[in-house]
Chains A and B, each alone.
Chain A
Amino acid sequence: MGPTPTITIHVPGPLRTYCGGAAQFSISAHTVRAALEDLQRSQSALYRNVCDETGTVRRHLNVFVNSDNVRDLDGVDTTLRPGDVVTILPAVSGG
């Protein structure tokens, strides 16, 4: 396994209050799972909004790596490459 890639995490507006107002920040992680674990350590309040007590990404949140939902890739085991952008995106519905 090579050097840990540095990626950018985009935070949705409603959650920025839990990370000091930051819209995005950079972390180093090989996978989405590792990125979430990093969040758990470094941004615990934000993490609790993204994942439940079991560590599962909340049901109505989507995690994208660049333009792909991780549900269509390898889930939280999706591999990250340098420069990837991970976006946490709440589901939208209406009618």
Chain B
Amino acid sequence: MTDRVILTIGTKKGVFVAEAAKPRRSFALRGPFGPGVPVYSTLIDARGTPRIYASSCNPFFGMKVLRSTDMGKSFSETKSAPAFPKEDGRALANIWALEADSGKKELWCGVEPASLFRSHDGGDSWELVPGISNHDHARKWQPGNAAADASPFPGIHIPALKPERRLPQDIPHPQM
């Protein structure tokens, strides 16, 4: 099988998938999928059966997680999206981050308002991670360096799963 290069591109008009042969001289573009709806996070999950995930953040009808099992030729919604328990009082405003964990179907999802969700079944069901989501200060966290047109409310944008996945410049050097 010929090696292929796949790129996912989240835009305000949906998610695009670009595919090229390994030399990357030209890309074929597919999409948009989830047309007309902003996509702030995508994830190419190459563990086991390859899957592509995209957050579909619809300001009218709420948040969805899209999944492709054919390398971005088609997408469909997962059975459910992250959602706060009704008694929590918070409502999902955006999905900012999707990350894969060690289990083949384990996913993390960082959202606004600042909270973290986890899935054990490839995004079909989600549970709130209470340790950080219900932290005493969680409802007071301030936003960081948000883009001018982004939400002024805090969210979890980059779950750093394990120390070895941290960027080298982020790893503190020992004091000499």
Contacts and interface: CB of A to CB of B under 8 A. Distances in A.
Interface string A38-61: 000000000011101111101111
A20 to B, nearest CB: 15
Secondary structure class of chain A's binding surface, majority of residues: loop
A52 B92 CA distance: 8
Contact of B84 (A15, A53, A90): A53
Residue among A53, A56, A59, A61 having the largest count of chain B Cβ atoms under 10 Å? A53
Contact of B61 (A15, A53, A54): A15
Nearest to A17: B77
A91 B62 CA distance: 14
The interface size bin for chain B is: 10 to 19
A58 B60 contact: yes
Contacts of B86: 53-55
Contacts of A48: 62, 83
Contact of A58 (B62, B84, B88, B89): B62
Residue among B59, B85, B88 having the largest count of chain A Cβ atoms under 10 Å? B59
A78 to B, nearest CB: 21
A53 B91 CA distance: 6
Nearest to B89: A54
Interface string A51-86: 011111011110000000000000000000000000
Closest 10 A/B residue pairs (Cβ): A52-B91, A49-B61, A60-B60, A53-B84, A90-B60, A53-B83, A53-B91, A54-B91, A60-B59, A53-B86
Interface of B: 59-62, 83-86, 88-92
